Amino acid sequence: MNYFETEFIHYKNNQLYVEEVPAEELVKKFGTPLYVYSRNHFINQYKKFDSAFKEIDHQIFFAMKSNFNLSVIDTFVKLGSGVDVNSEGELFRALKTNVSSNKIILTGVGKTKNEIRLGLEKNVLMIKAECEEEVELINKIAGEMNQVASVALRVNPDVDAQTHPYISTGLSKNKFGIDTETAMSIYRRRNQFRNIQFTGIDMHIGSQITSIDPFLEAISKMSEMYFTLKSEKLKLKHFDIGGGIGVEYNSEKSFSIEEFASKTISLFKKLDCKILFEPGRFLTANGGILLTEVLYNKRNGNKKFIIVDSAMNDLLRPTIYQAYHHIQPVLKFENREIQTADIVGPVCETGDYFARDREISETKSGEYLAVMSAGAYAMTMASNYNARRRAPEIIIDGEQIIIARSRETFEHLLWDEKII
């Protein structure tokens, strides 16, 4: 079978290590299911991204929806990152880290009045508006608060990001953003919105995008808008291209950040404003694993199942996007046969699986498996279905083991619930 390894998560003497710590030691100490992150993977990815664009005036805003553990967010903040928040809850979390509020941008297709008010109260760098009614509402609320809101319009450039339909956001049939014509008309009516200053233009065309072309197409459409607005005396400060850069989960070929930079920098240089990026997955996906114990091996007719103690409530991506995550043993044993099996969890749903018809070496009950590339959209999408507690999150930094979040207790799950 194939093994998925990275600079910081790999095998040494047939044992899976996260940085300098064997995964086996972690499962013995903290139990399973268990999320483990490599801090140096996060740092490396951030530095790679940042330095690829060092020639131009830019700022990274970590998309915390990919991984909202406070220590993870703070790792990026300490490197100079801002944070892209998508809800009141994310704003609340972000503000618990060392990020200053003027390095936060507030995103979201359906912001509530309260979220807009909070964004203004906290003085976030900008609020992205996703429809005309929202622009009117921001203007009204800012007026009530005697403020001028910094707003960017999220444009829907109608570009096919060629990714899974559920994570494609830049087509006009998707709910996100404002079509280019309407956006231009809003910018042009800027004098009507006395409590808004339009400071930017924004896009986010999808996630796990593995080709640069859709970005180039969208950037060129938005650049055209930028220049037209500039000629009409609206000088925008920020050109925000969102996130979406794909990573390798298996053998798919994505582009490197250096390639991405080399194809886009000349376009950005023409704009003479600050370029904003909102990467999530690129920074976090391959810096995390989900460790799980094998409970049973079973056979239904010809079909083999490996039943593990993690489930769709811990990691939902295979269930809802048929996403591929590599699965491999924590300890490699010699002379194990390769079998084809489904790797499934204990939740009472047929969709509760991590892999179907996967080639994997035979495993025994009580051994451990690692579900790879579980640093993004993994813990943040976890739930308590079947009254399962959410897993702890451990960060490894060299030899250091940091408990970034403990396992929930059953009491946490019952918080403030009563029989009446």
Cβ closest to ligand LLP, residue 81 vs residue 107: 107
* Catalytic annotation present for 348: yes
Residues 404, 40 contacting (CB under 8 angstroms): no
Q: How many CB atoms lie within 10 A of CB 313?
A: 24
Considering the complex, what minimum distance in angstroms separates the CB of residue 372 from ligand LLP?
Answer: 14
Considering the complex, what minimum distance in angstroms separates the CB of residue 66 from ligand LLP?
Answer: 5
DSSP letter at 389? P
Cβ closest to ligand LLP, residue 214 vs residue 244: 244
Cβ closest to ligand LLP, residue 26 vs residue 63: 63
Whole-angstrom Cα distance, residue 354 to residue 379? Answer: 15
Whole-angstrom Cα distance, residue 296 to residue 387? Answer: 21
Considering the complex, what minimum distance in angstroms separates the CB of residue 381 from ligand LLP?
Answer: 6
In three-state secondary structure terms, 266 is helix
Tokens of 420: 């009446």
Cβ closest to ligand LLP, residue 242 vs residue 392: 242
Whole-angstrom Cα distance, residue 344 to residue 354? Answer: 6
Catalytic residue (one of 13, 191, 334, 348): 348
Whole-angstrom Cα distance, residue 17 to residue 9? Answer: 6
Considering the complex, what minimum distance in angstroms separates the CB of residue 208 from ligand LLP?
Answer: 6
| Nearest alpha-carbon partner for 151 in 169, 131, 135 | 135
Sign of the alpha-carbon torsion through 189, 191, 196, 199: positive
Give the residues lining the site for ligand LLP (CB under 6 A): 63, 65-66, 84, 107, 167, 204, 207-208, 242-245, 278-282, 317, 321, 377
Tokens of 326: 């590599």
**Single-letter code of the amino acid located at 137:** L
Tokens of 17: 């290590």
Considering the complex, what minimum distance in angstroms separates the CB of residue 222 from ligand LLP?
Answer: 14
Side-chain half-sphere CA neighbours of 244 within 13 A: 28
Q: Which are the catalytic amino acids?
A: 348
